[in-house]
Amino acid sequence: MESESPTETKKGKSKTPKKAKESILKQKSPAEFFAENKNIAGFDNPGKCLYTTVRELVENALDSAEAISELPVIEITIEEIVKSKFNSMIGLVDRERVDEALYDDYETAKAREKRLAKEARAQEIQAKNAALGKKVKEHAVSKSSKGRGEASFYRVTCRDNGRGMPHDDIPNMFGRVLSGTKYGLKQTRGKFGLGAKMALIWSKMSTGLPIEISSSMRGQNYLSFCRLDIDIHRNIPHIHLHEKRDNKDKWHGAEIQVVIEGNWTTYRSKILHYMRQMAVITPYAQFLFKFVSDAPDKNVTIKFARRTDVMPPVPVETKHHPSSVDILLIKRLIAETSKQNLMQFLQHEFVNIGKPLAERLIGEMGPEFSPKMAVKSLTDQQIVRIHQLFRQAKFDDPSGDCLSPAGEYNLRLGIIKELHPDMVATYSGSAQVFEGHPFIVEAGVSVGGKDVKQGLNIFRFANRIPLLFEQGGDVVTRTALKRISWNNYKINQTQDKIGVFVSIVSTKIPFKGTGKEYIGDDISEIASAVKSAIQQCCIQLKSKIVKKMQAREQQERKRNLSKYIPDASNAVYNVLQEMAKSHASKKKRYEEGDADILQKVSDHLITKETLYEKLTQHVEKVDYEMALEYATQTGVREEPREDIYLQSLDGKGNFFDFHSPIFVFRLFL
């Protein structure tokens, strides 16, 4: 008799193995990806979300005004919304707590008694220290009165006088991630098509409320109004209301309003610091910042006034440099080009490839290439050959004509307007290149000023955007701290109030990390240009500081000499009186010249006052001669006087601006 298998003894039949579960492919929309990874766009926590929202809206507003060469007027308002008001906005009825112990801020009677006793002891110690004249430290609150889960909400509104948006494009411009107008190769403040869209995503995640947009373009007699949110999973706008309204004031620009969760308390200083730095780098813009709260003592209103009406040129889109492209980009350019043959393609789609160079390149590619071959017929292997040649061949560097730096004039104005330094120097370098991308470094160094701490105060800008976070690893910080010998320029790195301003503009800013908060220290071309720009400012300051030191030494020398004039006058006069008595009594005879002086002393024609006056004149003469000799030996020349800024004419007359690195000459017609 055969033995039964274990499976047969259990159920009388063998088990069939289960089929493996089929894998199901899933796809995420770009909006869903950024909602789950919002830290990539700088939305790390509620406080940072509030800061980043303000930053994105302000920068979009500046871009919009500059695009039509309009002097920017930007109003940014943050309104605090208390919990009861927020609940009424979303139609939620407030409910009293039923189970107190359920909440994070619940405190037992014993814990409350212990906390109050601890706070009483702390207050007693503070009172004793205050009575003894000791410095009193503020006592930290042991338990926050606000629970961990109770959020703070804010309505952020940004209004500008820019070009506005076409009525039909508004939904996609705000409700579709990775769609925008900033994808060409040019210097822009933004790159990813996120900006206000991330603020909308954060609003949907934290409050569920839609964003509101009002916009009007120049010459339009209507105003576009749109209320929308975003369908995260499909990455399409969900429109609540989209209509045209009367534009009675003939206003043009955009006003964006979004309600989000945030934290003003922890990020207040960062937001205000950002606005101040933005006023430094764009002195031609006018900013009005308001924080509005139900508690009047928390309200903030700051106006950053315009200092000049001279704007930098609008950055222009440029073509790719051959050394900066990859295989995918070459394929995309081939797919999008309107040119038929290879010769035309090379000349039209890339900078610094003229007809002679294009012919040489095609000849170098091999016999299967010809100038008149159809560019669309290129095989993958042939495209790789073109890419290899582009990487190995020598091309002229691209020019910086497509870039729009702030300009020494504006940088200097911004520093003077916001910091009020004792002295300032600025420098703008010529265009340089890394990986085929042109860049320009501008720098300013100031000494002294209002609200400036002792030591180095570093201000970093990339494409005219202030960078506030992750300062330690930035190329500007490392250069200022480690590569500049400040003592060589008569600047004390620890005691003087030093402002270091560096602005880098490029068609590609090599940010480190996804947050776009700092520029790495590993690109030698940029590091060298930053160091050189700061040094050029320091050289200018050194001559001013030496001149100031010379003046101070001159005053000190004069003060020391003048201090002894009264004593010296008395001593000399007393000696002369004794000599005059001896001469009168014929005890001692003097030569004719000396006798005349002694006779004048006897006749009171020479007095103490006479000697005092003569010694003072002598000190003035010696002081002048020594200062002149010092200036001749050290080569100190007369420095130009401080700039004089004239108010522009109110009229709308025609004029031309002639730009120089350090001034702008305006010719009115």
Residues of the chain by 3-state class (helix, strand, coil), percent to 5: 40, 20, 40
End-to-end CA distance of the chain: 120
Q: Is 60 annotated as a binding residue?
A: yes
Question: Tokens 């081939």, residue?
Answer: 334
Q: Could you please report the per-residue DSSP string of 398-465?
A: PPSTT-----HHHHHHHHHHHH--SEEEEEEPPPEEETTEEEEEEEEEEES-TT--SEEEEEEEETTE
Is 516 annotated as ligand-binding? Answer: yes
**DSSP secondary structure, 82-110, as one string:** -HHHHHHHTTPPP---S-GGGSTT---HH
Strand partners, 500: 445, 458
CA separation for the pair 467, 59 (Å, rounded): 13
> Alpha-carbon distance 630 to 613, whole Å?
26
Partner residues linked to 668 by β-bridges:
655
The amino acid at 16: T
Is 571 annotated in a binding site? The answer is: no
Return d(Cα 217, Cα 65) in angstroms, integer: 11
Q: Which residues of 423-449 are buried (b: 16+ CB within 10 A; e: fewer)?
A: bbbbbbbebbbbebbbbbbbbbbbbeb
> In whole angstroms, what is the distance from residue 404 CA to residue 505 CA?
7
Per the annotation, does 48 bind a ligand? Answer: no
- Answer for the pair 275, 287: CB distance below 8 angstroms, yes or no: yes
> What's the rounded Cα separation, in Å, for the pair 186 and 197?
22
DSSP code of residue 335 = H
197 is in an annotated binding site: yes
Q: Which residues pair with 212 in a beta bridge?
A: 227, 257
The answer to the question of whether 160 is labelled as a binding residue is: yes
Residue 182 counted as an annotated binding residue: yes
**Euclidean distance between CA atoms 614 and 620, whole angstroms:** 10
Continuous segment of H or E residues that includes residue 544:
helix 524-563
581 is an annotated ligand-binding site residue = no
* Cα–Cα distance measured from residue 456 to residue 495, given in angstroms and rounded to the nearest whole number: 9
By CB neighbour count within 10 A (0-12 exposed, 13-18 middle, 19+ buried), where does 66 fall? buried
DSSP 613-668: HHHHHHHHHHHHHHHHHHHHHHT--PPPPPP--PPPPSS---EEEEE-SS-EEEEE
Residue 439 in marked binding region: no
Residue 195 labelled as part of a binding site: yes
* 608 labeled part of a ligand binding site: no
**Binding site per annotation, positions:** 60, 160, 181-182, 190-197, 516
**Binding site per annotation, positions for ATP:** 60, 160, 181-182, 190-197, 516
